[in-house]
């Protein structure tokens, strides 16, 4: 099945452009001799067939959009020969397979991010925000993240901290065995399976399995769908603000597949004596609910005003 005409044009444009930019001599072919013959710059389609170890004409059919549903290994080989970046790799899959690629093109993908991420996180307010690489090494974070931990010491590797640090399991990540471990372990299992050639992930998974506390839990709950949705909540003991919960959203980084932005809001548990939380929104809701229950009107003092049947400040 041929690709639609517009997609064939886009495919030819990107593939021809990348072929033209590559030196055949650097790819192992002899230098061209003066005289008649191919004069176009870069690798020829015939040379691409040789590099791909395919029968003559295979690459021509692919470049012209006539190779139906090309296999993953074929697309991977083409993209690596032509030195695609991750965005071009994703574009190739969208054109030829109408889906996202099943894995990053390069093993180094997701292991670094632009320094601009630190500048951005420095501007993020009171949330707990950090960026980690494909191995969960913390690459950038804000002060809110650092203040979460005892001594304001941010972990070097967040997954290793969450699963293996004794202090994290007993003092920071409350209900670790029943909530944190089942929530985090499938993330590690999925990442290690996706990047089987990543030594850092393999080492981390091996250390977890060998740990007498985490190992049995990993066997029990890691092989499961990742239990995450935007706004997922987990209990935590904040080093400064005390017990509460983190409400978290995650975002993959387009320019560095495998790296991820993690941003959470901390909400302190209600004070047993007052029933109020240190979260300003929660405090406001609590005060408003109390006022509504009593029909209070505080307009004379310039404070919160709640009309009968209403909820919130009066204009």
DSSP conformational letter for 180? I
Nearest of 204, 228, 240 to residue 128 by alpha carbon = 240
Give the pLDDT band of residue 35 (cuts 50, 70, 90).
Answer: low
pLDDT of residue 313: 35
Q: How far is CA 277 from the centre of its chain?
A: 31
Return phi, psi of residue 250, to 5°.
Answer: -120, 150
Give the pLDDT band of residue 273 (cuts 50, 70, 90).
Answer: low
CA angle at 219 for the pair 217 and 222, rounded to the nearest 5° = 80
In angstroms, the CA 139 to CA 260 distance is 10
The model's pTM is 0.71
| Contact assessment for residue 288 and residue 306, using Cβ atoms and an 8 Å cutoff | yes
In angstroms, the CA 142 to CA 167 distance is 22
Which residues are within 8 A (CB) of 41 and not within 5 positions of it... i.e. 6 or more apart?
20, 21
Nearest of 76, 65, 84 to residue 4 by alpha carbon = 65
Which residues are within 8 A (CB) of 244 and not within 5 positions of it... i.e. 6 or more apart?
235, 236, 237, 238, 266, 267, 268, 269, 277, 278
Query: Distance of CA 42 to CAs 47, 87, 171, Å?
Result: 10, 22, 60
Give the pLDDT band of residue 296 (cuts 50, 70, 90).
Answer: very low
| Contact assessment for residue 110 and residue 259, using Cβ atoms and an 8 Å cutoff | yes
What residue has token string 């505080």? 298
pLDDT, tens digit, 9 for 90 and up, residues 110-124? 888 899 999 999 999
Return phi, psi of residue 252, to 5°.
Answer: -75, 145
What residue has token string 């400040």? 313
Q: Report the percentage of the chain scoring pLDDT > 90.
A: 67
Q: Strands, E, within 40-146: which ranges?
A: 128-132, 138-141
Which residues are within 8 A (CB) of 221 and not within 5 positions of it... i.e. 6 or more apart?
181, 182, 185, 186
Give the pLDDT band of residue 104 (cuts 50, 70, 90).
Answer: confident
pLDDT, tens digit, 9 for 90 and up, residues 85-103? 888 988 999 999 999 888 8
pLDDT of residue 290: 41
Residue 188 has pLDDT above 70, yes or no: yes
Give the pLDDT band of residue 128 (cuts 50, 70, 90).
Answer: very high
Pairing status of strand 138-141 against strand 232-238:
unpaired
Nearest of 92, 94, 133 to residue 253 by alpha carbon = 133
Higher-pLDDT residue of 135 and 33 is 135
In angstroms, the CA 63 to CA 239 distance is 58
| Contact assessment for residue 276 and residue 286, using Cβ atoms and an 8 Å cutoff | yes
């Amino acid at each position: 099945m041929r690709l639609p005409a517009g997609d064939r044009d886009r495919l030819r444009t990107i593939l021809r452009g990348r072929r033209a930019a590559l030196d055949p001599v650097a790819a192992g072919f002899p230098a061209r001799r003066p005289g008649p013959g191919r004069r176009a710059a870069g690798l020829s389609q015939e040379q691409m067939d040789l590099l791909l170890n395919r029968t003559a004409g295979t690459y021509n059919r692919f470049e012209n959009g006539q190779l139906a549903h090309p296999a993953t290994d074929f697309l991977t080989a083409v993209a690596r020969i032509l030195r695609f970046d991750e965005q071009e790799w994703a574009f190739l899959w969208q054109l030829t397979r109408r889906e996202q690629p099943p894995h990053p093109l390069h093993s180094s993908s997701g292991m670094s991010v632009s320094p601009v991420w630190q500048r951005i996180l420095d501007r993020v307010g009171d949330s707990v925000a950090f960026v980690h690489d494909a191995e969960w090494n913390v690459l950038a974070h804000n002060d809110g993240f650092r203040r979460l931990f005892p001594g304001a010491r941010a972990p070097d590797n967040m997954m290793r901290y969450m699963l293996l640090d004794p202090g994290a399991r007993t003092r920071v990540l409350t209900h670790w065995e029943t909530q944190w471990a089942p929530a985090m372990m499938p993330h590690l299992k999925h990442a290690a399976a996706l990047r089987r050639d990543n030594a850092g992930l393999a080492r981390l998974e091996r250390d977890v399995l060998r740990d007498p506390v985490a190992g049995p839990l990993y066997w029990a709950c890691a092989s499961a769908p990742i239990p995450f949705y935007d706004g997922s909540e987990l209990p935590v003991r904040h080093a400064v603000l005390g017990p509460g919960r983190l409400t978290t959203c995650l975002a993959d980084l387009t320019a560095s597949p495998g790296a991820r932005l993690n941003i959470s809001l901390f909400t302190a548990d209600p004070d047993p004596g007052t029933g109020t939380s240190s979260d300003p929104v929660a405090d406001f809701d609590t005060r408003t609910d109390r006022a509504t229950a009593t029909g209070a009107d505080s307009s004379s003092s310039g404070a919160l005003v709640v009309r009968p049947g209403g909820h919130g400040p009066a204009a």
